[in-house]
Structure 1
Amino acid sequence: MPSLPRRSILKLLMAAAAVPIGLPGCSSAPQRLYVLTPLPRQTVTPQRNGRSIGVQAITLPEYLDRPEIISHAGPNELATSPDDRWAEPLPANMTRVVAENLSVLLGTDRVHTLPSRREEEADYEVAIAVDRFERTTTDNSVLDARWVILNGGTQKVVVSNRTRLTAPVSGDGYAALVAAMNETLTALSRDVAKDIANLRPRKTAQSGS
């Protein structure tokens, strides 16, 4: 087979270089990333001698523990958008936001996520298991969560509760959906903070037992 002249080979290589390569994401619209946000910090300095609260990592069903934001398209059908995603793993975002909300609502800076490198033992620990956290077919954001408050020393459950919340999605697009989801997470934080506030300080509770 006769070989091609050098000039012809160079032309072929230049033509091949001019053909665009379909790399993933090159022609698609940029992704929109979302996060849940905590309550704003108050101007009053938080107390440093308040209850010490540890917030365990929030658990989610596997269908929610993913980068895509979930909506219901039917009774047994879920829908996502390839361009609208959580900016970080949802359990980590939710856990951090709840911890920061509790710090604001209880007026203390002694709230931290678990596990923690702090040597101080928490007075109480909060464990939250989320069963639902998505948009419904009726354009509401729904949050259904079971949660307990445990004695930080004995790990005995001192409060067991459940929060079911819905918030209307006011507007089109995922920004409105995330805002409604943020509203329900704030309301959950208020429920937990209310029950923590009703508990006696752990040392007092132990001395009276």
Structure 2
Amino acid sequence: MAAFAAPLLVLVACQSTPDSRLYTLAVVPPSGTAQPVHSAPQTLALGSLDLPMLIDRPQIVRRIDGNRVEALEFDRWAEPLADGLRSTLSGDLAARLPGTTVLPVAGSSVGDGTAVLTVTILRFDADATGGVVLDAQWSLSPGGGTGGRKSGPTRETVEVPSGGAGPDAQVRTMSRAVGLLADRITAGVRR
């Protein structure tokens, strides 16, 4: 009987799959002290935030070369990437725009004085070494019929060197890239 049980135990052990590891992006504080600027809007709502289908998936994606990517099957986003990116970018912008209320989601209509930021992510991935490229286009529209002038679209490409090749390091580096994008958007909002 024991002779039959041993191979069965080996077979069961081989069929078990590793547990998924879940990750979230994190808000990165600004490098210096953020100063309020009178040219920034009182309220900023994050409107549409579009992602390419390549990265809009539960798995974390890594670029192998110019034509190939890999989805890390057991390294996954804890929430849809669009939702995590929206909340992280909103938090990064709020940290950089003191005195401005940053709304993570714009409603169907926004009130007077509320500017609406739209962001299209063109690329957001890491290479095999863990270096991250975040290529995005953003524009800012005055809300509530204020008659102000639309700003953009402006294209920003952020490249952050590797903080390590593992998924933990990749996600930390991706968070830093979102913070740097927020720095650039903040500079544009203040103009």
Count of aligned positions: 173
Supply the distance in 2 between the matched residues of 1:115 and 1:105 (Cα, whole angstroms).
19
2:190 is the counterpart of 1:189:
no
Q: Out of 78, 91, 115, which is 2:69 matched to?
A: 78
Distance 1:162 1:117, change over 3 A: closer
Supply the distance in 1 between the matched residues of 2:19 and 2:129 (Cα, whole angstroms).
28
Structure 1 residues not aligned, in runs of 5+: 1-18, 199-209
Q: Provide TM-score, normalisation by structure 2.
A: 0.78
Higher-strand-fraction structure = 2
2:26 is the counterpart of 1:37:
yes
Structural mapping, 1:20-169, within 5 Å: 27-40=16-29, 51-108=42-99, 110-116=101-107, 120-137=111-128, 139-154=130-145, 157-169=150-162
Q: Deviations over 1:21-60 (max 9, x none)?
A: x99xx8212111110111359xx9x98x961101013101
Runs of 4+ in 1 over 3 A off after TM superposition: 115-122
Q: Provide TM-score, normalisation by structure 1.
A: 0.72
Q: Out of 156, 173, 176, which is 1:180 matched to?
A: 173
Structure 2 residues not aligned, in runs of 5+: 1-7
Supply the distance in 2 between the matched residues of 1:162 and 1:184 (Cα, whole angstroms).
14
The share of aligned pairs that are identical, in percent, is: 24
Supply the distance in 1 between the matched residues of 2:170 and 2:189 (Cα, whole angstroms).
29
Structure of greater relative contact order (alpha carbons < 8 Å, 6+ residues apart):
2
Does 136-145 or 113-122 show the bigger shift?
A: 113-122
